[in-house]
Chains A and B, each alone.
Chain A
Amino acid sequence: MQAQAPSPVATAAASLSGGTEVAPALAAARLALSRDLTLAFRKRGQLIQPLAFFALVTMLFPLAVSPELSRLRAIAPGVLWVAALLASLLALEFLFRDDAYDGTLEQYALSGQSLTWLLFAKTAAHWLLTGLPLALMAPLAAMSLGVAAAAVPGIVLVMVVGTVALSLIGAIGAALTLGMKRSGALLALLTLPLSLPVLIYGARATELAIGGTSFIAPLELLAALAVLAVTLAPLAAAAAVRISLE
């Protein structure tokens, strides 16, 4: 086959592709990731917003409930997770919105690359910019609620795993609401019920970590959720983005 002289059609095609090499899927995904990180660092002000929100929500509880550390310590796991859930929800609206407006998502969908991988990369960037900082900030918030320093590694670990799942589940909601002018409340209505298992296992693992006992069982369940989200959520998000481009 290869020995045959190339046809005019084939030569034309070769000159069109210009000897250029198609980027492999992973390289394309890495590029999408670094693009989003670069963009985020150009607008550093926005990066702080979810963190400030997280701190603010945490602060509401001593004011609303009681400044007594013993009482706050009892509700600390719930406070941390509700605050983290709301903060990651707040950041979701911007996950795909700008790229939908300026046609970047369209170019991604037409790039010949896997849209699933590209959206996974975008979600990963989003997690690095919001989920991970939240997890790293959680011990600070926890200690302000009277939690002992010994619980810090556990809290961070649980939060890291949980926010991965939250970002991915949120990506589905963000992609589904792309065609809308205002999506804030609807995004919450779509995302929060789907995030409840993460909240349940995350809060329980945190509670055990604070109590100083083994939190491996809920953490495993949480990790299972995260793995499931990693596998399925980008597929669903890609399908949703395609629908929004129709």
Chain B
Amino acid sequence: MNLRDSRAVPVNHLEAENLQLWRGDRHVLKGVGFTLSRGECLQVTGTNGAGKTTLLRTLCGLMVPEEGRVLREGRDVRADLPAYHSSLMYLGHEAPLKADLTARENLYYWIGVRRRVAGAELDAALARVGAGACCERLVRALSAGQKRRVALAGLALMFAPLWLLDEPTTNLDAEGQQVVGALMAEQLARGGAIVVATHQQLPAAVRVAQVLELAS
């Protein structure tokens, strides 16, 4: 029904209004605001401790800002968090992978909690990110880069309109970075939006519409 409303009044995909957040005595988010349309990518930069991760966690509704709000399709996301959550995908710098499960099982349980997923889909996604060989191997035996690729396969499987990515290119070689770039470009092409926090250069395939620099 969100969509029906949005047809009448064209609204922005994701909007943050004057987000203010304190952690103890520290004023972490000092009036952050932006407007993101469909098919756009917002890059959040800033030094370590500038609040990039805090901003992403606030955007996805885990943290509650003292002031300001986050709007999706013109509506406060707090009004219906489960619906908002099923429309977004948050990938932190730690991939939620279990060492004692295989790459494939990890994906199956991770994605399966959100939507029905077929085995063939999992294999295709793993192959796509260049981790096809790791399918049946325990994650314990994978390198940091391979683990990262398994996490990216999760991203490829999650057809969420909004991606919130925290340092997606960490631990990846040049080829892996290309994969990230391709996945992100694809997401933008199909009208999805991305908020990505990184101080690294994003792969060339990703057209960054806006850059938001957080001051520490």
* Complex A–B touching at CB under 8 A: yes
Assess whether A13 is in contact with B3, with CB atoms less than 8 Å apart: yes
Return chain A residues, CB-CB under 8 Å to B101: 35, 38-39, 42
Q: Please give the distance in Å from B23's CB to the nearest CB on chain A.
A: 10
Q: Is B94's CB under 8 angstroms from A103's CB?
A: yes
Q: Which residues of B contact A20 (CB under 8 A)?
A: 115-117, 159
Alpha-carbon distance A17/B96, docked complex (angstroms): 22
Pick out which of these stretches binds chain B: A21-29, A70-78, A178-186: A21-29
Chain B contacts for A102, CB-based, 8 A: 94-98
Determine the distance from Cα of A42 to Cα of B139 in the docked complex, in whole angstroms.
13
Residues of A within 8 A of B96 (CB): 102-104, 106-107
A193: CB under 8 A from chain B?
no
In this complex, the member of B90, B110, B114, B116 whose beta carbon has the largest number of chain A beta carbons within 10 angstroms is B114
The minimal Cβ–Cβ distance linking B95 to chain A, given in whole angstroms, is 7
- A28 CA / B98 CA spacing, docked (Å): 18
A114 and B115 form a contact (CB under 8 A)? no
Residue of B nearest to A15 (CB): B190
A113 at the interface (CB under 8 A from B): yes
Say whether, besides A42-B100, A110-B62, A31 and B112 are in contact (CB < 8 Å): yes
Least CB distance, B203 to chain A, in whole angstroms: 21
B64 an interface residue at 8 Å Cβ cutoff?
yes
- Which of B24-32, B44-52, B78-86, B170-178 faces chain A? B78-86
* Partner among B63, B105, B191 whose Cβ is within 8 Å of the Cβ of A16: B191
Size band of the A side of the interface? 35 or more
User: A149 to nearest B CB, angstroms?
Assistant: 39
Report the nearest B residue to A104, measured CB to CB: B96
A200 in the interface (beta carbon within 8 A):
no
Residues of A within 8 A of B92 (CB): 103, 106
Q: For residue B88, which residues in chain A have a CB less than 8 angstroms away from its CB?
A: 110
Q: Please name all residues of chain B whose beta carbon is closer than 8 Å to the beta carbon of A107 when the two chains form the complex.
A: 90, 96, 110, 113
Pick from B6, B82, B159: contact of A112, CB under 8 Å: B82
A63 at the interface (CB under 8 A from B): no
A213 contacts chain B at the CB level, 8 A cutoff: no
A16 touches B83 (CB 8 A): no
Contact A31 to B159, CB < 8 A, known contacts A10-B7, A16-B192: no
Please measure, in the bound complex, the distance between the C-alpha atom of A106 and the C-alpha atom of B85, giving whole angstroms. 11
- Tell which of A18, A106, A111 touches B114, judged by Cβ atoms closer than 8 Å: A111
Q: Quick check: A16 and B161 within 8 Å, CB to CB?
A: yes
Q: Mask for A104-142, Cβ within 8 A of B = 1, else 0?
A: 101111111110001000000000000000000000000
A1-56 residues at the B interface, CB under 8 angstroms: 1, 7, 9-10, 12-13, 15-18, 20-23, 27-28, 31-32, 34-35, 38-39, 42-43
Q: Are B98 and A23 in contact (CB under 8 A)?
A: no
B113 → A minimal CB distance (Å): 5
> B38 near A: Cβ within 8 Å?
yes
Residues of A within 8 A of B3 (CB): 7, 9-10, 13
Chain A min CB distance to B133 (Å): 21
- Decide if B160 is an interface residue (CB 8 Å cutoff): yes
Tell me how far the C-beta of A211 lies from the nearest C-beta in chain B, rounded to whole angstroms. 45
- Measured between beta carbons, the chain A residues less than 8 angstroms from B103 are none
Interface string of B176-199 (1 = CB under 8 A from A): 000000000000001110000000
Q: Do residues B113 and A23 form an inter-chain contact, with CB atoms below 8 A?
A: yes
Which of A34, A108, A112 gathers the greatest number of chain B CB atoms within 10 Å?
A112
In the complex with contacts A12-B191, A106-B96, A112-B105 CB distance below 8 A = no
The answer to whether A9 and B115 have CB atoms under 8 Å apart is: no
Which residues of the other chain, B, contact A104 by a CB distance below 8 angstroms? 96, 98, 110
Contact of A22 (CB < 8 Å), options: B64, B98, B115: B115
The 4 closest A-B pairs by CB, nearest first: A112-B86, A12-B191, A18-B159, A103-B96
A and B contact pairs by CB, cutoff 8 A, 17 listed:
A9-B38, A13-B3, A22-B86, A22-B114, A28-B113, A39-B101, A98-B98, A103-B94, A104-B98, A106-B62, A106-B92, A107-B90, A109-B62, A110-B62, A111-B113, A111-B114, A112-B83
